[in-house]
Structure 1
Amino acid sequence: MKITRKNLDDAVDENIITADQAVKLHDYLSGLPSVGPTFNFTNVLYYLGGLIAIGAMTLFMNLGWESFGGWGILFISLAYAGVGLKLAGIFQEKGHAIPAGICATFAVALTPLAIYGLQQALGLWPDESVYQEYHKYIKWHWLYMELGTLMAGLIVAWRYRYPFLMMPIAVTLWYMSMDVAVMIMGDYSDFQFRALVSMYFGLLMIFAALWVDIRSQGKIDYAFWLYIFGVLAFWGGMTAQESDSELSKFGYLCVNLFMIAVGVVVVRRVFVVFGAIGACLYFGHLAQEVFEDSWLFPITLTAIGLLIIYLGVVWQKNEKALTVKVRSCLPIKLRTFLESKTS
Structure 2
Amino acid sequence: MEVSKATLQKAVANNIISEQQGAALYHFFQEESLHTPSFSFTHILYYLGGLIAIGAMTLFMNLGWEQFGGAGIVFISMLYAAVGLKLANAFASKNLIIPAGICATFVVCLTPLAIYGAQQWLGLWPHDNTVYRQFHTRIQWLWLYIELGTLIAGVIVVWRYKYPFLVMPIAVTLWYMSMDVTEFLVSEYDALYAHSFELHALVSMYFGLLMTLLAFWVDIRSRHTADYAFWLYLFGVIAFWGGLTSQDSDNELSKFGYFCVNLLMIGIGALLTRRVFVIFGALGSCFYLGHLASTVFKDSWLFPVALTAIGLGVVYLGVVWQKNENKITKKVRAALPKAMQELLEKKA
Q: Could you tell me which amino acid in structure 1 is paired with residue 178 of structure 2?
A: S
The residue aligned with 2:320 is 314
Distance 2:78 2:211 in 1: 29
Cα–Cα, structure 1 residues 25 and 287, in superposed 2: closer, same or farther, change >3 Å? closer
Amino acid at match of 1:159: R
- Report matched runs for 1:231-246 at 5 Å: 231-246=237-252
Q: Name the counterpart of 2:56.
A: 56
Instruction: Compute the displacement of 1:340 (Å).
Output: 2.0
Residues 291, 2 of structure 1: CA spacing in aligned structure 2 closer, same or farther, 3 A cutoff?
Answer: closer
SS in 1 for 2:281: helix
Q: Which runs of 4+ in 1 moved over 6 A?
A: none
Matched letter for residue 290 of structure 1: V
* Residues in 1 aligned to 2:79 and 2:28: alpha-carbon distance in whole angstroms: 39
Q: Tell me the residue number matched to 1:76.
A: 76
> Which has the larger displacement, 226-235 or 293-302?
293-302
**Alpha-carbon shift at residue 303 of structure 1 (Å):** 0.9
Q: Which amino acid counterpart does residue 96 of structure 1 have in structure 2?
A: L
For residue 183 of structure 1, report the CA deviation from its aligned partner. 1.3
- Deviation per CA, 1:247-304, whole angstroms, max 9, x where unpaired? 1000000000000000000010000000000000001111111111111111111111
> Which moved further from structure 2: 6-15 or 282-291?
6-15
How much has 1:317 moved relative to structure 2?
Answer: 1.4
Aligned with 1:195 (options 175, 196, 201): 201
- Deviation at residue 339 of structure 1 after TM alignment: 2.2
- In structure 2, the partner of 1:105 is 105
- What's the counterpart of residue 177 of structure 2? 176
Residues 1-343 of structure 1 mapped to structure 2, 5 A cutoff: 2-27=2-27, 29-30=29-30, 34-128=34-128, 129-186=130-187, 188=190, 189=193, 190-217=196-223, 219-342=225-348
Going from structure 1 to structure 2, the CA distance change for 1:28 and 1:265 (only over 3 Å counts) comes to closer
> Normalization by structure 2: what TM-score?
0.94
CA shift at 1:11, angstroms? 3.2
Amino acid at match of 1:37: P
Contact 1:206 1:231 in 2 (8 A): yes
Deviation at 1:24, TM superposition (A): 4.5
Q: Which runs of no fewer than 5 residues in structure 2 stay unpaired? A: none
User: What is the SS of the residue equivalent to 1:124?
Assistant: coil
**Separation in 1, partners of 2:197, 2:178:** 13
Quick one: which amino acid aligns to residue 10 of structure 1? K
Between 59-68 and 4-13, the greater mean CA deviation after superposition: 4-13
**Structure 1 unaligned residues grouped into runs of 5+:** none
Structure 2 residue identity aligned to 1:186:
S
Per the normalisation by structure 1, the TM-score is 0.96
User: Residue 60 of structure 1 aligns to which amino acid in structure 2?
Assistant: F
Q: What secondary structure, in the 3-state scheme, does the structure 2 residue paired with 1:186 have?
A: helix
Q: Distance in 2 between matches of 1:252 and 1:77?
A: 45
SS of residue in 2 equivalent to 1:125? coil
Q: Deviations over 1:88-111 (max 9, x none)?
A: 000000011110000000000000
| Aligned partner of residue 138 in structure 2, secondary structure | coil
Q: Distance in 1 between matches of 2:135 and 2:62?
A: 11
Partner SS, residue 136 of structure 2: coil
* Counterparts of 1:293 and 1:340, CA distance in 2: 49
Separation in structure 1 between the aligned mates of residue 296 and residue 29 of structure 2, nearest angstrom? 58
1:38 to partner: Cα distance: 1.3
Cα separation, 2, equivalents of 1:33 and 1:321: 32
Q: Identity over aligned residues, as a percent?
A: 63
> Structure 2: how far apart are the matches of 1:192 and 1:113?
31
1:308: how far off? 0.9
Q: 1:20 to 1:322 in 2, by over 3 A?
A: closer
Q: What is the DSSP-based 3-state SS (H/G/I as helix, E as strand, rest coil) of the residue aligned with 1:110?
A: helix
Alignment length (residue pairs): 342
Moved more, 248-257 or 216-225: 216-225
Quote the Cα distance in structure 1 between the aligned partners of 2:290 and 2:204: 24
Distance 1:298 1:236 in 2: 28
d(CA) in 2 for partners of 1:202 and 1:111?
23
In 2, Cα distance between the equivalents of 1:17 and 1:224? Answer: 35
- Distance in 2 separating the partners of 1:79 and 1:224: 30
C-alpha contact (below 8 Å) 1:217/1:337 kept by paired residues: yes
RMSD: 1.5
